[in-house]
Structure 1
Amino acid sequence: MAGVSTEQPPAEHPTGTGSEGGGGVRRRPRKLLVLLFGVASVALLLDTVTKVAVVATLEGGPPVRALGGLIYLDVLRNPGAAFSLATGLTWLLALLALVVVGVIIWLAPKLRSTGWAIGLGLVLGGACGNLVDRLFRAPGPLQGHVVDFLSVFGPNGQYWPVFNIADSAIVCGGVLVVLMSLLGRDYDGTVHTRKNKTSENES
Structure 2
Amino acid sequence: MIPRALIIAAITFLIDQFTKWYVVWHLDLINQRAIDVLPPVLNFRMGWNEGINFGLMSGLSARWFLIILAMGISIGILIWARQFTGWLAAALVGLIVGGAMGNALDRVLHGAVADFLNMSCCGFYNPYSFNVADIWVFAGAIGLIIFGERLPKRA
Q: Which of the five TM-score ranges fits, normalised by the shorter chain?
A: 0.7 to 0.9
Partner of 2:117: 150
1:115·1:177 contact (CA, 8 Å) conserved in 2? no
Residue 82 of structure 1: CA displacement? 3.0
Partner of 2:30: 59
Gaps of 5+ in 1: 1-31, 138-143, 191-203
Question: Residues 103-182 of structure 1 correspond to what in structure 2 (within 5 A)?
Answer: 103-137=76-110, 144-153=111-120, 158-159=125-126, 161-181=128-148
When normalised by structure 2's length, the TM-score is: 0.83
Paired-residue identity, %: 27
Tell me, in whole angstroms, the C-alpha distance in 2 between the residues paired with 1:40 and 1:62. Answer: 29
Secondary structure at the aligned position of 1:132 is classed as helix
When normalised by structure 1's length, the TM-score is: 0.65
Tell me, in whole angstroms, the C-alpha distance in 2 between the residues paired with 1:67 and 1:37. Answer: 34
Secondary structure at the aligned position of 1:69 is classed as coil
Tell me, in whole angstroms, the C-alpha distance in 2 between the residues paired with 1:109 and 1:85. Answer: 32
Aligned length: 148
Partner of 2:153: 188
Of 26, 33, 38, which aligns to 2:2? 33
Counterpart of 2:97 in structure 1: which amino acid?
Answer: L
**Structure 2 CA distance for partners of 1:160 and 1:117, relative to 1, 3 Å:** farther
Tell me, in whole angstroms, the C-alpha distance in 1 between the residues paired with 2:46 and 2:115. Answer: 6
- The CA RMSD measured in Å over matched residues stands at 2.2
